[in-house]
C-alpha cells in the first residue's frame, strides 16, 4: 500500500518532492513557495526547521487532497523523464534495470513492465546507504512487495542466458569503467531473450551548449565518482559487435531536471575543486538548470 505520510522519508523522495512541490502548489492553488535550495532539485541539508516545514507541507497536502508519493513522483522532472524512457519498454515485458541507483527508472517501469529486477553494485563512497533508500522509496510508493533488488556487478550478471525481454541501463553507463564496457554489453546480450531489447539512456554533454554541466561532470570524475561518458556511436558499435541488431539512437531534449545538479562532497577531498564547483553551480542556476539532452540507444537481440 502506498504511503501517505511525509514522516521519515528518504533523501531520494526529498529530491523528487523538491521538484514536484512548486508544480503541486500551482496545480492546487496552494500558498507558499519552497526554499531556493529545494528549487535547485537537490536534497538540502536536513536542518530541523527545514525538515519540519517540508514534512508539514506534504502531510497536509496528502490529507487534504488525497495524494500520495506516487503523485509526487509523477509530477517531478525525474519521474517524468524516467517515464519517457520507460516508453521504450514494451508493455508486459520482463525488465532488468542495470545500475538502478536510487531506483527511479525501476519505479517508472511499474504499471508498464510485467516485472522488473533492479541490479546495482552500490560500492561507491558517494552511494552509501542507497540500497536502504531504494527500499524505503519503493515502500513509500506502494511497491515494496514487487521490488526485486539484486546486488551484483553488471559485468558478471547472476542470471541465466535469455532471462529478460528488456535489459535497460538508464543514466548508469557513466559509472562503468571504460575497460569493462565491452563485458557489460556482452553480458547484456547474453541475458536478453531472443527477440528482446536493449535500452541505454545517457546524457549528451555539449561544451558549446551546456559547458557548466560538462564542468560538473569533470569534477565528479576527478572525485572518482564516475567515468567518462561514452559516445553514442561507440555504444552502437559495441552493441553491434556483441550481436545486437537494429541498433539505433534517438535524442530526447526535454529540458527536464532529470538528476540533482548539486551533490554532497567531502571538503577534505575537494581541494583545488571547490572554486570550480561553486562557479559551475552558479552558472547552472543562472541558465535555469536546463539539463543536457538524453540519447536513447535501442537494439534487438
Confidence (pLDDT) at 87: 96
Q: 218 and 283: one domain? A: yes
Confidence of residue 133 (pLDDT cuts 50, 70, 90): confident
Q: Identify the residue with better confidence: 238 or 17.
A: 238
Q: 53 and 188: one domain? A: no
pLDDT of residue 37 exceeding 80: no
100, 167 Cβ separation under 8 angstroms: no
Q: 71 and 193: one domain? A: no
Name the average pLDDT for the chain.
Answer: 83
Q: 36 and 143: one domain? A: no
Confidence (pLDDT) at 11: 78
Q: What is the mean pLDDT of residues 12-32?
A: 77
pLDDT of residue 43 exceeding 50: no
Q: Identify the residue with better confidence: 184 or 261.
A: 184
Q: pTM of the prediction?
A: 0.87
On whether residue 264 sits in a domain, the answer given is: yes
Q: What is the pLDDT of residues 236-283, one digit of tens each?
A: 999 999 999 999 999 998 878 777 666 665 656 666 788 888 888 888
Q: 150 and 261: one domain? A: yes
Q: What is the mean pLDDT of residues 131-140?
A: 89
Domain boundary among 29, 47, 75: 75
Q: Identify the residue with better confidence: 266 or 80.
A: 80
Confidence of residue 122 (pLDDT cuts 50, 70, 90): confident
Q: 181 and 233: one domain? A: yes
Confidence (pLDDT) at 144: 81
On whether residue 85 sits in a domain, the answer given is: no
CATH number for the domain harbouring residue 252: 3.40.50.150
On whether residue 84 sits in a domain, the answer given is: no
Distances in whole angstroms, Cα of residue 105 to Cα of each of 79, 130, 139, 259, 272: 8, 14, 15, 12, 34
Q: 131 and 17: one domain? A: no
Domain of 30, in residue numbers: 11-75
Which residue shows C-alpha cell 488525497? 66
Q: 115 and 142: one domain? A: yes
Cell of 46: 536536513
Q: 42 and 187: one domain? A: no
Domain boundary among 43, 75, 107: 75
Confidence of residue 187 (pLDDT cuts 50, 70, 90): very high
On whether residue 81 sits in a domain, the answer given is: no
Q: 147 and 280: one domain? A: yes
Domain boundary among 75, 105, 125: 75
Q: How many domains does the chain have?
A: 2
On whether residue 55 sits in a domain, the answer given is: yes
Q: 138 and 286: one domain? A: yes
Q: 140 and 224: one domain? A: yes
For CA atoms 62, 66, 70, 72, give the dihedral sign. negative
Confidence (pLDDT) at 192: 98
Q: Identify the residue with better confidence: 105 or 61.
A: 105
Confidence (pLDDT) at 46: 47
User: Which of 89-93, 200-204, 253-257 is predicted with the least confidence, judged by mean pLDDT?
Assistant: 253-257
142, 122 Cβ separation under 8 angstroms: no
On whether residue 83 sits in a domain, the answer given is: no
Confidence (pLDDT) at 184: 96
Amino acid at each position: 500500500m502506498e504511503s501517505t505520510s511525509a514522516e521519515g522519508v528518504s533523501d531520494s523522495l526529498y529530491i523528487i518532492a523538491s521538484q514536484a512541490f512548486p508544480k503541486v502548489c500551482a496545480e492546487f492553488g496552494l500558498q507558499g513557495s519552497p526554499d531556493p535550495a529545494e528549487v535547485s532539485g537537490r536534497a538540502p541539508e536536513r536542518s530541523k526547521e527545514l525538515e519540519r516545514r517540508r514534512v508539514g507541507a506534504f502531510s497536509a497536502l496528502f490529507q487534504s487532497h488525497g495524494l500520495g508519493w506516487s503523485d509526487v513522483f509523477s509530477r517531478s522532472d525525474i519521474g517524468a523523464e524516467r517515464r519517457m524512457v520507460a516508453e521504450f519498454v514494451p508493455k508486459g515485458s520482463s525488465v532488468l534495470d542495470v545500475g538502478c541507483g536510487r531506483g527511479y527508472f525501476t519505479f517508472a517501469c511499474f504499471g508498464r513492465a510485467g516485472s522488473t529486477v533492479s541490479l546495482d553494485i552500490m560500492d561507491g563512497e558517494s552511494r552509501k546507504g542507497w540500497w536502504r533508500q531504494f527500499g524505503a522509496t519503493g515502500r513509500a510508493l506502494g511497491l515494496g512487495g514487487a521490488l526485486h533488488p539484486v546486488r551484483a556487478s553488471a559485468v558478471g550478471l547472476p542470471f541465466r542466458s535469455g532471462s529478460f525481454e528488456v535489459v535497460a541501463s538508464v543514466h548508469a553507463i557513466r559509472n562503468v569503467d571504460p575497460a569493462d564496457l565491452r563485458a557489460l554489453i556482452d553480458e547484456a546480450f547474453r541475458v536478453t531473450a531472443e527477440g528482446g531489447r536493449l535500452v541505454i539512456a545517457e546524457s549528451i554533454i555539449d561544451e558549446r551548449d551546456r559547458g557548466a554541466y560538462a564542468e560538473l561532470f569533470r569534477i565528479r570524475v576527478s572525485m572518482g565518482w564516475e567515468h567518462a561518458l561514452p559516445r553514442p556511436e561507440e555504444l552502437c558499435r559495441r552493441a553491434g559487435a556483441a550481436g545486437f541488431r537494429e541498433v539505433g539512437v534517438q535524442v530526447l531534449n526535454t529540458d527536464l531536471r532529470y538528476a540533482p545538479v548539486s551533490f554532497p562532497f567531502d571538503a577534505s577531498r575537494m581541494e583545488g575543486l571547490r572554486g570550480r564547483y561553486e562557479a559551475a553551480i552558479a552558472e547552472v542556476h543562472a541558465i535555469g538548470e536546463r539539463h543536457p539532452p538524453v540519447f536513447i540507444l535501442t537494439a534487438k537481440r
